[in-house]
Chain A
Amino acid sequence: MSDAATEIKVPVVPAELERVPLVQNNRSFGWISDRVSAITEGKAPKWWWWSFIPSVCLLGLLGAMLFYQITTGVGVWGNHHPTMWGWDIINFVWWIGIGHAGTLISAILFLMRQRWRTAVNRAAEAMTIFAVMCAGIYPGVHVGRVWFDWWLFPIPTYQGLWPQFRSPLMWDVFAVSTYFTVSVLFWYVGLIPDLATMRDRAKTKIKQFVYGFFALGWTGSNRHWSNYEKAYLILAGLSTPLVLSVHSIVSLDFAVSQLPGWHTTIFPPYFVAGAVFSGFGMVLTLLIPLRSMCHLEDIITMRHIDVMCKVTLATGCIVSYAYVMEFIIAWYSGSAMEKFHFMNRALGPMWWGWVMMMGCNMIVPQLFWFKKVRSNLVIVFIMSIFINIGMWFERFVIVVVGLYREFLPSNWGYFKPTWVDICTYLGTFGLFFTCFLLFMRFLPMIAISEVKGVTPEADPHHPSAGGHGNGGKH
């Protein structure tokens, strides 16, 4: 190929700003396939086992806690009168929020032709799915009578009763289940070409069969690619409104009620921004170590990190704006209860929740204005942890602080979690990481075909390797 290329006269391209290449060091297609597949094909490294075993233990803890809670009653948790929702809903919203980055990266950025997404979208989507699974546990088991959960679905039964469509919890059921379904589909469709790659590289019969089964007979023909691209585009189109709707609807759980601090119209956009913020936080938390553990520095480059930091900064600023705006709205509303709520949020007995929220979500991300910070992986990693913590506290402030002191002071009461609350939460990490670690061991965690698509070689107009220009210019 290189011989032929030298014979063609290529007109000199006018001076153009060179973009930083998306895949560094001019890696070839083969290298990408090998490197990504190696994670699944080689022996599991020690660090994987060191992560996997504790994760499975935590997953067991989750099982035990759910078993205990379901057999005994919601009373094993700390929520009480008046704070009837506690860590159950906080963690539900928190995990759902985390589940936002994946689909945002894969759908919205896809539609916007943000090509850098290819390096992180697979892992982020997987993260989304596992986070939504963790989230989904909570509304499922937090109810008093788990065995009647199916009453929340619109199933025609002999009872002749339908769910109540006015209830935001009902909307939640639809929103979350739709989001989960579409996210899984989207993720799976994106996986098909890579599954075929895995199939082709597989050395055992079982692997060949399993990968082959899920690859749906992918041959890489033009027709396949054409259908695939269309399906992917359609799913991206479908997912995009879902990214916005899920967390909007989750926010309506609060906004539709009439509690001071909950009953507010800015919740939907503020929740979506918060979700993207926390989602990117979690993506950073996951990918920064993975990148070096799996030696993917050439694929998940510093540029990726940099871009994600910028998204985090932008959404962090939106959330901060909302935090401040809430106070202004409370003041401007003239509602004594609203005013009290926000005074109490900042000065009341749970002031520390608010301080954590403001500190982690408003102040910490401001460091991302600095290029030096964005390019220091250790700092970025630590900050991403802070963002995760901060977003947890945001939900804490909304759920618990919204409930523990409201209209009638006779109802006021202080919320304390129990050990079961804490262990259940830790257990969901077990589920999340168990799933994620299995995912990275058995599926390509980088979208191989898509990453190849953004390399310079993939450009039909691009001179093959060895010519001038060694990065994607798109």
Chain B
Amino acid sequence: MKTIPPTDTTPVTGRHYWRGLDQLADTPEFKTFLEREFPANASELTDPVSRRHFVKIMSASFALAGIGLGATGCRRPEDKLLPFGKAAEGFIHGTSQFFATAMPTRGGAIPLVAKSYEGRPLKVEGNAMFPGSNGGTDRFAQASILNLYDPDRATRFAKGTGKDRASITSGEALEALAGIANKFAANQGAGLALLGERTNSPSRRRLHQEIAKKLPQAKWYLYDAIDSEIHQRAATKAFGKSVKPLFRYDVADTILALDCDFIGGEEDAHNSIRQFTGKRKIEKPEDGLNRLYAVESLFTLTGVNADHRLRIAASAVIQVAAAIAAELGVNVGAMVSNSKVEFDKKWIVECAKDLKATGGKSLVVAGVRQPMAVHLIVAAINEKLGNIGKTVELVEAPATISAGISELAESLNKGEVDTLVIAGANPIYNAPADLKWAATQRKAKTVVRLGYYEDETGVSADWHFPLAHYLESWNDGRTSDGTLVPVQPLIAPLFGGLSDLEFMARLAGLTETNPNKIVRATFATITGDSSEAAWNKFLHDGFARGTAAKKTGASWSSSSLSEALTALTPAATSKDNLEVVLYRDAKMDDGRYANNGWLQELPDPITKITWDNAVLVSRTTARALDVENGDVVEISAGGKTIKGAIWTQPGMADYSLGIALGYGREQVGRVGVGTGFNGFPLYSGKTGYIVSGVSLKKVGGEKYPIACTQTHWSMEGRAIVREANLQQFKDHPDFADKMNAPVPPRPANHVGEWPVSLYPNPLDEAKKTALHQWGMAIDLNGCVGCGTCVVACQSENNIPIVGKDLVSRGREMHWLRIDRYYSADPTKRAWNSTFKPDEKQQFEEWIDDVQAVNQPMLCQHCEAAPCESVCPVNATVHDHEGLNVMAYNRCVGTRYCSNNCPYKVRRFNYLDYNKRSLKELKGPFYPTTLLHSTEGEWDLARWWKNQDAGMRLDDEWDLIRMLKNPDVTVRMRGVMEKCTFCIQRIEGAKIAQKVKAGESGDVVVPDGTIKTACEQACPAGAIVFGNIADDNSRVAKLKKQQRDYSVLDFLDTKPRTTYLAKVRNPNPAMPDYADPFTFDEFEKQNGNPFGHHGGHDEAHAPAAAKGAH
């Protein structure tokens, strides 16, 4: 293709040159050319285009953009991308390419490998090369790819507020930005205020410093609605120098989490999960487990995975911290004696004893929502236990150089701010309520916003710039341990967005505004190596080795503790003194993912609620306040009132109300509209995330429907998730097998498999000749229930979302779900509570003190699959490698397979989820294609013209289609679907191996080559997939472990997916020491699996007498 180098489309800053005779002549053609937002063709993206056409255009625009790299600093960032039209070396159409990049988070970055298919990023995975990483990620990273193709993201440069808002060209917008830069260049930035979000990007820090030099009068402010920097601030205070604590869950043997949800809501949870579960995935009892004590008010993932859990109001956690500290000999003054809250003293004593016994290998952590005082007490405890430098590593961390949002508010109120630039943050939605941000912000003359969405803050800004996605822009970051990672783009900004580096560089009028160059310069500064080779290696590896933050020694300053001790002792919570705990949502974060359908539909890891948050209350609270699930209530504190719907949460502390932040957004896209309730009005700088003195009032008779994916809470004593204590595991290493249903006794002279199956399985013949036999093992001791795998599966397998209405009708499409069961002491459960309707559970006493277990449930790929024999059209069949495969094209949708599947892991496309937009998925009247029209065109006519068209608006459809994995069929309505063990990955690896093997004939895929999407994403490494025919494969070894069992073994479906039973490690000295409740429930129903003696009684009997059955 012959391309003519275009004239530059963007206006210059600085000296003005004629760009050509055309411009001089000011011809209309040239004018239109200038006005076009994108190079020729690129703006055609807004038209309904086919995927092929899209690739063509993108290639063309890359090509155009890539040509004529000038020396001027005003070029757009995409000019560094390779022209796709002139394919990159070695590029083969139809195969995917992988690029190392990273997703910036607040306090770090997640090193990633992103998959790109013909120029479209499709899937992100963790960078397994990264030191210490296992390739796991978190939910947000997995879901972030959907944001890239969000049709509701900011797609334009805009000017004006309210009705006056109008689209402008990027040229005009950049000119305005240049105007601001010029204005403030003159007065050294006086009156310029920048509000950004926390980031760990060294380039931004460097830019910040450069800007500070150039515009010394300009002010920088940082705001994050979820303040996870408190760990660093507390450590800095406690150790007298700017340090950041790194909690080493991989070293600690005993962990006490004080309202610290390090498995769920804390920053960098995926790393903590990897470290924590590393000590729990044991092979044999002698390996020993770490032990986790959790003190919390909400029932969090940390509490779910804890061996001991103390249920207490969040405001009272400081008392527990003080009591533990006192028990360990830290001088906490009168804090303990002044205590107004009650809790089990013995619990504290024994917990402290245990911590002390493992001193140096113990770890106490406090959560981000806890006040500074708790963090300081915790630092003192860790110091006392000798954990500093061992389980709490202190690393050098640069001090924060920006002020916070309250200082900015002050400044705005004083009228000191002329131009307020907000880069990224959404303070109108999530600033502390006491700042009255919406009004305060308007005190600046001009508000400029760089944002990913035209959200609450966006619509009220005078200028709005679209922010580029991290997969569209150059940046860098430091992971939580400080290692430098690149953020490199895989695609040119779809809507011409700017990266924040470029935006800030332009704003400050820096000469270098090319983010690629900025990042590269930072890289050279940090590593001291500016060579091309080093840079290329950095981009290839996705991190720079040896750049981790330095460990530092620091001495604890005892004065920090005395500061903590001045904290007031909290009053006990009661019916009249409720507290609200505002917490970071597992899915919405601080609201930034509100328009992400995957996250909205991902069931909350604990409550299993989708599309909403709720006011979580304990049963006692609900009874005291006379409310029940779905009741709309008003919650008032400090003059502010919010609305919410009640949800009774087992294991919640009494008189605590849990409200997840991030919902109830007002300016949000089509997906997030009308989801949940906004908790931010209760959040203020003074009270923080734990608000005391709250009152609650029922709003007369109003009910709010909540869509929950798992309505029944109890496992009913069935051996679905099998659990034992470490002691039981020691006494009965085969406890998981013992919990199998009894089989008829084996005749003395019987040889071979027992029990014998009535009919020969044709698969047994195929097995003999097949190269591979696929299987999966899931370690329930590894699985913490975070849900990353669910999103990863959704992303890999083109699984549609169905919307709240259909989730509430039980029609969510997740191929992989995480079952969460609550269990309680069976003596507390009434015999008939099993038979009550699910909505009555909320009134039952047993839910007060519960344990919870998680179990990822996906197609078990049964060797004797019940689904296969009942399909009348042979749509689901077995392959010779043991996969239960689904031929979508053959499926007519009788749904018999799902009825006969005992695991109920099959999902049915009840409506055309892929082609219907969310608003067409609301019952009870679903529009039919014969009567409905989309964008003014009759749907049937649309279909006639283009069989791909559905009820989605064209802009939605075009973007969403780009996200689809081309290796996986997009299913239509009326078709059954289910987990395939990522067959596309299996086949890809088999083909690659065949190509590689060539003449050698070595076509068996080596172990570990194939990772299913869920396995790859799992931060705990709890899911292992592989060839069970190979005795040395990881999965075969796991299946040989004694903890291995299959769910519903008695049906003899011979599942290829098996589970490793869970082992808890409670402390026998603790007052709440007990068998796992699920075990007790099982025992009550089925008798003791170990024979006549009780499981825990046996612990005291001689070892030789046990388990010999």
Contacts and interface: CB of A to CB of B under 8 A. Distances in A.
Interface of A: 67-68, 71-76, 78-85, 142-146, 148-149, 151-152, 161-164, 166-170, 173, 253, 256-259, 336, 340, 343-344, 347-349, 403, 405-414, 418-420
Given A144-B892, A348-B835, A340 B716 contact: yes
B962 interface: no
B227 interface: no
Contacts of A148: 873, 892
A409 B870 CA distance: 23
Nearest to B719: A336
What DSSP secondary structure best describes chain B's contact surface?
A: loop
A407 B820 CA distance: 15
Contacts of B713: 409
Contacts of A80: 809-811, 910
B866 interface: yes
A347 B834 CA distance: 9
A70 to B, nearest CB: 9
B872 A76 contact: no
Contacts of A162: 874
A259 B904 CA distance: 11
B870 A168 contact: yes
Interface in B958-972: 972
A258 B899 contact: no
A144 B975 contact: yes
A146 B891 CA distance: 11
Interface in B856-889: 857, 866, 869-874
Nearest to B902: A407
A72 B926 contact: yes
Chain B interface residue number, banded:
35 or more
29 contacts: A68-B928, A71-B928, A72-B926, A74-B973, A81-B810, A82-B810, A82-B898, A84-B908, A142-B894, A143-B892, A144-B894, A144-B895, A144-B975, A164-B872, A164-B873, A166-B869, A166-B870, A169-B870, A169-B894, A257-B900, A259-B899, A340-B834, A407-B904, A408-B718, A408-B902, A408-B904, A410-B710, A410-B712, A410-B857
Nearest to A348: B835
B890 interface: yes
A412 B811 contact: no
B832 A76 contact: no
Contacts of A67: 928, 930
B887 to A, nearest CB: 9
Given A144-B891, A347-B832, A409-B821, A72 B873 contact: no
B835 A347 contact: yes
A152 B892 contact: yes
Nearest to B898: A84
Given A144-B909, A418-B924, A85 B900 contact: no
Given A143-B892, A163-B872, A167-B869, A258 B973 contact: no
A381 B411 CA distance: 86
Contacts of A84: 895-896, 898-899, 908
Contacts of A409: 712-716, 718, 720, 821
Interface in B1044-1086: 1047-1048, 1051, 1085-1086
Contacts of B902: 258-259, 406-408
Contact of B857 (A146, A173, A406, A408): A408
Contacts of A74: 893, 895, 908, 910, 973-974
B907 interface: yes
A418 B923 contact: yes
A80 B924 CA distance: 14
Contact of B874 (A72, A161, A168, A418): A161
Given A144-B891, A344-B835, 18 more contacts: A76-B923, A79-B895, A80-B811, A81-B812, A84-B896, A84-B908, A142-B894, A145-B891, A148-B873, A163-B874, A164-B869, A343-B834, A403-B899, A405-B712, A406-B904, A408-B904, A409-B714, A419-B924
Contacts of A336: 718, 741, 1085-1086
A160 B890 CA distance: 12
Given A80-B809, A259-B899, A164 B874 contact: yes
B912 interface: yes
A144 B904 contact: no
Contacts of B899: 82, 84-85, 257, 259, 403
Interface string B10-25: 0000000000000000
A458 B523 CA distance: 111
Contact of B711 (A75, A340, A412): A412
B892 to A, nearest CB: 5
Contacts of B903: 407-408, 411
A77 to B, nearest CB: 8
Interface string B819-835: 11100000000001011
B1048 A407 contact: yes
B414 interface: no
Given A68-B928, A72-B927, A149 B900 contact: no
A253 B894 CA distance: 12
B810 A167 contact: no
Nearest to B812: A81
A67 B812 CA distance: 25
A338 to B, nearest CB: 11
Contacts of B924: 418-420
A206 B832 CA distance: 69
Contact of B872 (A170, A340, A413): A170
A81 B802 CA distance: 13
Residue of A84, A163, A406 ringed by the most chain B CB atoms within 10 A: A84
B52 interface: no
A82 to B, nearest CB: 5
B836 interface: yes
A6 B874 CA distance: 75
B1017 interface: no
B129 interface: no
B549 interface: no
B722 to A, nearest CB: 14
Nearest to B897: A84
A258 B893 contact: no
A13 B652 CA distance: 92
A408 B926 contact: no
Contact of A145 (B811, B866, B892, B1085): B892
A136 to B, nearest CB: 15
A151 B923 CA distance: 31
B896 A75 contact: no
Nearest to B899: A84
A257 B893 CA distance: 17
B892 A151 contact: yes
A71 B810 contact: no
Contact of A75 (B806, B837, B838): B806
Contacts of A167: 869-872, 896
Nearest to A410: B819
Complex A-B, nearest 9 residue pairs according to Cβ-Cβ distance, in ascending order: A144-B893, A144-B974, A75-B910, A410-B819, A80-B810, A75-B911, A349-B837, A84-B895, A169-B872
B912 A73 contact: yes
B373 interface: no
Contacts of B871: 164, 167
Residue of A144, A173, A347, A420 ringed by the most chain B CB atoms within 10 A: A144
A344 B831 CA distance: 12
Given A81-B811, A161-B874, A408-B720, A145 B974 contact: yes
Contacts of B866: 257-258
B484 interface: no
B928 A145 contact: no
Interface in B572-595: none
Contacts of A414: 711, 837-838
Nearest to A69: B928
B929 interface: yes
A349 B819 contact: no
A420 B912 CA distance: 18
A33 B105 CA distance: 91
Contacts of A259: 899-900, 902
